[in-house]
A and B are shown apart, each in its own frame.
Chain A
Amino acid sequence: MSELAASRRDGTRYYMLDDSGSTIAARTSASPEESGFELYGRPEGFSTFVVPAEETSNSSTYTCCSNWLRSNAYRLTLLHEAIGKLGDLPSEHELHIDATTKDRAVQFLNLIGQDGQLPKLFPQDGEALVFTWDAGARKRMITIAGEEISGMDIDKKTRMRCDYDLSFEPQDRSVWFSKLYPAVAASVGTSDE
């Protein structure tokens, strides 16, 4: 069974999901009908659901999709969308990230995949993207600036800070990724806060 879910608020982005909640396809359109997805009349094989655009700001209208909206699949989609939007900004915009940073950030997200502990992010100085995790007593950051990648931990209580030099080279990547990333995944149960 597939499910169709509209994005939470703007009602202009529609997702087709498989039964595990993974996104099969996402389309932007002005209305559900124009999305091209089969929506109305519950066609066979689809457990369809549409959130009308004018109702999507009302939280009660998307209770159907709440599991999915909390899913890593959805959050990963949002992370990719956010990175895309920052990369699309004009280069003089303070939130802009350059093409190399954007590509490397997407590559990094792909390393994590849907199963891992997903980060939040913020752009830095128009030249870098910082991924952040709440990892128990620590805040963990991985910064991507063009071809450079580095890590930083800050202890929430003592503010002790440790910096790490990382690298995208495949032989180095496997070393730091296996050391740093699972530590995040293991020390935190849920996605944030």
Chain B
Amino acid sequence: MIYEQDVFARLAIFPKFIDPATQVFDLAFLLRFSPVDQSGGVAMSVGSRLDLKTDALVHAFGCRSAANADREFEIRKGTPPDPETEANRYLGFYDFEWGAAASAPVIHHHVAIRFKKEHGEMAHFQIEMHPRSTEKLSKKQQRNDRIAVRTSLAMGLYGPSLHICEQDEALRPALEAIAADLPVCAKGREDSLIG
């Protein structure tokens, strides 16, 4: 059972090319859904803070996730990701309570979170959006609901906790510069601090 107060981490993974424009990107930029099936379902990966109890554990999870995403890219495309525009750079993470996504004002979808082991990661969960009916939704109906979830969730993010992965050490100055622009958000209550 997952409660609205349960805390999850969303990894801040950026391609390097967005520098120096981070301050023009909304935090919802971090919250991207990918298609999971043909029926219009989409998912967003997150890490459970019940498993990842310390920031260091989330950072290790983040570095593995970025490396896995690069490997998957190479398998899919046959070439390694472009270091500037395609390679995944983990910069840190934001926490949120599941309620921030669960309370998103959606019209045509339901929003759920579920455990989905991926690359052997037991902390890997995903937020999923599925159409409420089998009636085909217009692109706009799909899009607006996704925007509503991304925006609502962005309002509930707090952090970040920053980190540069070993594999990105050579890019440290550039990545730290992007990370320095990430908005710092605090949480209003103390009862769910972890780690």
B143 within 8 A of A: yes
Annotate A1-29 by CB proximity to B: 1 below 8 A, 0 otherwise. Answer: 00000011110000000000000000000
A106 within 8 A of B: no
Annotate A125-141 by CB proximity to B: 1 below 8 A, 0 otherwise. Answer: 10110101000000101
A156 to B105, CA, bound (A): 11
CB-CB nearest in chain B for A156: B155
User: A125 with B146: in contact, given A132-B151, A150-B140, A159-B104 (CB under 8 Å)?
Assistant: yes
**B24 and A75: CB pair below 8 A?**
yes
Beta-carbon contacts under 8 Å, B15-36 to A: 15, 17-21, 23-26, 28-29, 32-34
Counting contact residues on chain A (CB < 8 A from B), the size range is 35 or more
Out of A79, A94, A139, name the residue touching B151 (CB < 8 Å).
A139
A95 within 8 A of B: yes
A143 within 8 A of B: yes
**A154 and B105: CB pair below 8 A?**
yes
Contacts of A9 in B (CB 8 A): 19-20, 174, 177
**A122 and B105: CB pair below 8 A?**
no
Closest beta carbon of chain B to A98's beta carbon, Å = 13
User: A130 with B26: in contact, given A139-B155, A161-B105 (CB under 8 Å)?
Assistant: yes
A93 within 8 A of B: yes
**A154 and B148: CB pair below 8 A?**
yes
B173 within 8 A of A: yes
Closest beta carbon of chain B to A57's beta carbon, Å = 5
**A81 and B105: CB pair below 8 A?**
no
Annotate A53-76 by CB proximity to B: 1 below 8 A, 0 otherwise. Answer: 000010000000000000000010
Out of B17, B33, B144, name the residue touching A163 (CB < 8 Å).
B144
CB-CB nearest in chain A for B29: A122
**B146 and A57: CB pair below 8 A?**
no
Closest beta carbon of chain A to B12's beta carbon, Å = 13
**B104 and A78: CB pair below 8 A?**
no
Contacts of A124 in B (CB 8 A): 143, 146-147, 150
Out of B24, B32, B103, B144, name the residue touching A152 (CB < 8 Å).
B144
Beta-carbon contacts under 8 Å, A84-103 to B: 85, 89, 93-95
User: A193 with B28: in contact, given A9-B20, A9-B177, A132-B151 (CB under 8 Å)?
Assistant: no
- Count of residues in B whose CB is under 8 Å from the partner chain: 37
Beta-carbon contacts under 8 Å, A112-129 to B: 120-125, 127-128
A125 to B140, CA, bound (A): 11
Contacts of B139 in A (CB 8 A): 127, 145
B152 within 8 A of A: yes
Contacts of A93 in B (CB 8 A): 85-86
Contacts of B105 in A (CB 8 A): 154, 159-161
Contacts of A95 in B (CB 8 A): 15
A148 within 8 A of B: yes
A71 to B65, CA, bound (A): 37
Out of A82, A145, A159, name the residue touching B152 (CB < 8 Å).
A159
- Report which residue of B24, B143, B148 has the largest number of chain A beta carbons within 10 angstroms of its beta carbon: B24
If A122-B29, A130-B147, A154-B152 are given as contacts, then 6 extra A-B residue pairs at C-beta distance below 8 Å, sorted by A number, are A9-B177, A78-B20, A122-B28, A132-B28, A154-B105, A154-B151
A-B contact pairs, 14 of them (CB 8 A): A9-B19, A9-B174, A10-B174, A57-B173, A57-B176, A78-B20, A85-B18, A124-B146, A124-B147, A125-B143, A128-B143, A132-B151, A143-B147, A154-B105
Q: 10 closest Cβ contacts across the A-B interface?
A: A161-B105, A82-B21, A120-B26, A122-B29, A132-B26, A9-B177, A78-B24, A122-B26, A122-B28, A9-B20
